[in-house]
Amino acid sequence: MDLEDGRVELSEGSGGVALPPPGGLRWIDLTSPTAPELELLRTRFDFHPLTIEDCGHLDQRPKLEEYRTHLFLVTQGFSSTGDKVEQLDLQELHAFLGERYLVTVHETPIAALEETWQRLAKEPKLLERGVDFAYYLVADGIVDDNFPILDCIADELEELEDSVLASPQRRDLQRIFELKHHLVAMRKVLSPQRDVLGLLAKRGDAHVTERTAVYLRDVYDHLVRINESIEASRDLLGNALEAYLSAVGQRTNEIMKYLTIMSAVFLPLAFVVGFFGQNFDDLPFVEDWVHSDLLMWGMIVTCVAVPAAMITWFKKKGWL
């Protein structure tokens, strides 16, 4: 099997056919190819114009298209750096899988592809399993890159749920929304990706041997698990949101309680002191008592007893 950089290969000879010699295998890899390079690809391998058009711009959806001499595969996955999932990078690989050749086209470097390339260069025996096995190795790497992202999101959701219940912050809410954006984006891509690999793993023809299909079923299993994790995370995201809203409501409640207690304590007091501030010359009972300390002390005791009684009552009602 030849591992060749696409640019070299394509410019090598002019007008010649890029197919490998009989009995040989060839893998050509192109990173962000120019329009003339894509045109060369089309003419040498006789690829369908629509697939070449697809290679020209990203943002396709995962798909499997069958042509007479090859399969056209769009494979997608996400990668992310850092402890928290801030930015999801979409990895998109376009692959033409013939019986004896594999042509891969991508815009940005894909780590999984790079590793596979190195590994195949070191272990030539692996090459003998065919180009479909090489595709499996790359697809497996792209798919497995999604696991840490989902674990990360699930962990963060659990933390968010707890921290939000303790003290709800607006940035927690924004974070919840961000995670929902991530999950929606992942589901949009990885749900069709699962179907594509399920289809591919069921084949047993010239392009995908029975032996490789067993391995592809394993990738399919991973994708099924990934999609179930996405659904589970979306479910739990609802928890975090409910926790936020409930904690905000609880805080309003707490403030209300404080306000009520303030009013309950001071409004009666205001009445008591206001009562004795009236301009009557002689209140019948004041008449006799106004000079006595009894009435005054009674008033002072009232000023202490009323709030004390109220607070005791609130405590019994469980408001404090």
Within 198-217, the residues that bind its own copies by CB under 8 A are: 214-215, 217
- Tell me the closest approach of the beta carbon of residue 200 to its own copies, in angstroms: 16
Is 57 an interacting residue with respect to its own copies (CB under 8 A)?
A: no
Q: Is residue 56 near its own copies by the rule CB under 8 A? A: no
Q: Which are the contacts of 141, defined by CB distance < 8 A and separation ≥ 6?
A: 111, 112, 113, 115, 116
Q: How far is the CB of 216 from its own copies (least distance, A)?
A: 11
Q: Which of 291, 308, 309, 312 binds its own copies (CB under 8 A)?
A: 291
Q: Is 255 in the site for its own copies (CB under 8 A)?
A: yes
Shortest Cβ 54–its own copies spacing (Å):
8
Minimum gap (Å) between residue 297 Cβ and its own copies: 8
Q: Tell me the C-alpha distance between 311 and 291, whole Å.
A: 32
Per CB under 8 A, 128 contacts its own copies: no
Is 251 among the residues that bind its own copies (CB under 8 A)?
yes
Determine the Cα–Cα distance for residues 30 and 28; give it in Å rounded to an integer. 7
250 makes contact with its own copies (CB under 8 A)? yes
From 17, 111, 259, 305, residue interacting with its own copies (rule: CB under 8 A): 259
| Cβ 6 vs Cβ 30: under 8 Å | yes
Task: Please provide residue 60's backbone torsions phi and psi, each rounded to the nearest 5 degrees.
Answer: -80, 180
Q: Which helix (H) or strand (E) holds 227?
A: helix 210-275
294 binds its own copies (CB under 8 A): no
Cα gap 38→33, rounded to integer Å: 6
Q: What is the total count of residues that contact its own copies (CB under 8 A)?
A: 83
- Determine, following the binding rule CB under 8 A, whether residue 242 of this chain makes contact with its own copies: yes
Does the footprint of its own copies cover residue 257 (CB under 8 A)?
Answer: yes
> Do the Cβ atoms of 119 and 195 come closer than 8 Å?
no
Crossing angle of helices 170-202 and 210-275, rounded to 10°? 160
